[in-house]
Amino acid sequence: MKNYTIKKLIKGYKLKPELKGLTLVGIPFQFKNEPINVDFNGVSQLINSTTPLLHKEMFRDKYGRDKYYVLYYYEWDPVKTQITLF
C-alpha cells in the first residue's frame, strides 16, 4: 500500500457542475491500480478498487516539458470510509 499526502482538497463544482456539494481528492495516474492511503492534515482515507471514481482529467505539464499528467478524483470523506471498513 502506498501513502500519499495531499496539500489541498478540491471543491466538486470546480470540475463538473454535477459534483457540486462534494469535496474531492486528486490522485495521480501512477497510483490508480493499487490501494493508497491518502493523508490530509493528519486525517487519512483508504482509496482502493471499490472506491468509486468520480472524474478523470488530463492536464498539460506546467513546466513546459510538452508532457501531460492525469488525475483521478475521488470523494474525500474519511469518516464514511472508516465506517465501511468495519
Overall number of domains in the chain: 1
The pLDDT of residue 54 is above 50 = yes
Cell for 8? 489541498
DSSP-derived secondary structure for the chain: -EEEE-S--EEGGGT-GGGTT-EEEEEEGGGTTS-EEEEETTEEEEE-TTSPP-EEEEEE-TTSSS-EEEEEEEE--HHHHHHHH-
Whole-angstrom distance, CA of residue 37 vs CA of residue 3? 5
Domain encompassing residue 64: 2-85
Q: Tell me what pLDDT residue 86 has.
A: 47
Query: What's the pLDDT tens digit per position in 3-37?
Result: 889 889 989 888 889 889 889 998 887 766 788 89
| Predicted model pTM | 0.79
